[in-house]
C-alpha cells in the first residue's frame, strides 16, 4: 500500500497591517534583549562617586602705587615673590617660588620690558650692595632669605618712579 500525502496548504497571505504588527513585535523583542545585555555587561562595573572639583581663584591683585610701566612691573614682581615665595638657584622652582629675575619675567608684558626692569634692578643691586661684578642671578643666589630681594625690588620700583621710567 502506498500512501500519498496531500500537498501542504499554503498559509494565507498577510496584509500590510499584520506584517507591521509582526515586525513591531520582533523589534520589541530585539530591544528587550539588547537592554538586558547592557544590564548584564555593566553590572560588574563599580561606580565611584565623582570627585568634587574646585577651581581656585587667583588672589586679588592690589593696585600698583606706581604709574610708570617699569616701576609698576618691579612692584608686581616684588608682590609675586611676597605671595608665591622666593627661590634660589632657579628662575622658578617646582613649588612655584621665583627668584628676582623669574618674578620680573613672569610679570613683564614683553621680553624687552623684562630686560629693562632687570637692568634697573642690577643698577640698584650694584649701587646698594657694592659689588660691581655682580649679576642679579648671582646676587639673588647669595642671599640668605627673601628680605633683601624684596627690598631691592622696592627700591628699584621707587627709582623707576622717581625717574619717570
Flag whether the pTM goes above 0.85.
Answer: no
Average pLDDT of span 108-112: 94
Judge whether 55 lies within some domain: no
Lowest mean pLDDT among 1-5, 41-45, 77-81, 130-134: 1-5
For residue 158, is it within any domain? yes
Is the separation of the CB atoms in 100 and 121 below 8 Å? yes
CB 94 within 8 A of CB 112: no
Q: Is the pLDDT of residue 1 over 90?
A: no
d(CA 106, CA 56): 19
pLDDT value, residue 43 = 74
Residue 11 lies in a domain: no
Residue 15 lies inside a defined structural domain of this protein = no
Q: Which range (5-19, 61-75, 79-93, 148-162) has the least confidence? A: 5-19
Cα-Cα-Cα-Cα torsion 35, 38, 42, 48, nearest 10 degrees, comes to: -60
Give the C-alpha separation, 103 to 117, whole Å: 11
Number of compact structural domains in the chain:
1
Confidence check: pLDDT of 98 > 90: yes
**What range defines the domain where residue 123 resides?**
69-162
Amino acid at each position: 500500500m502506498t500512501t500519498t500525502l496531500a500537498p501542504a496548504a499554503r498559509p494565507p497571505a498577510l496584509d500590510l497591517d499584520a506584517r507591521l504588527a509582526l515586525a513591531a513585535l520582533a523589534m520589541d523583542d530585539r530591544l528587550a534583549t539588547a537592554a538586558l545585555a547592557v544590564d548584564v555587561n555593566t553590572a560588574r562595573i563599580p561606580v565611584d562617586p565623582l570627585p568634587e572639583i574646585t577651581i581656585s581663584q587667583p588672589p586679588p591683585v592690589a593696585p600698583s602705587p606706581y604709574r610708570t610701566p617699569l616701576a609698576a612691573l618691579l612692584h608686581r614682581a616684588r608682590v609675586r615673590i611676597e605671595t608665591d615665595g622666593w627661590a634660589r638657584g632657579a628662575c622658578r622652582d617646582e613649588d612655584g617660588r621665583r627668584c628676582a629675575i623669574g618674578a620680573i619675567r613672569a610679570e613683564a608684558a614683553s621680553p624687552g620690558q623684562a630686560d629693562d626692569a632687570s637692568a634697573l634692578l642690577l643698577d640698584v643691586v650694584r649701587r646698594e650692595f657694592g659689588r660691581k661684578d655682580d649679576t642679579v642671578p648671582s646676587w639673588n643666589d647669595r642671599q640668605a632669605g627673601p628680605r633683601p630681594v624684596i627690598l631691592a625690588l622696592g627700591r628699584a620700583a621707587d627709582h623707576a618712579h622717581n625717574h619717570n621710567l
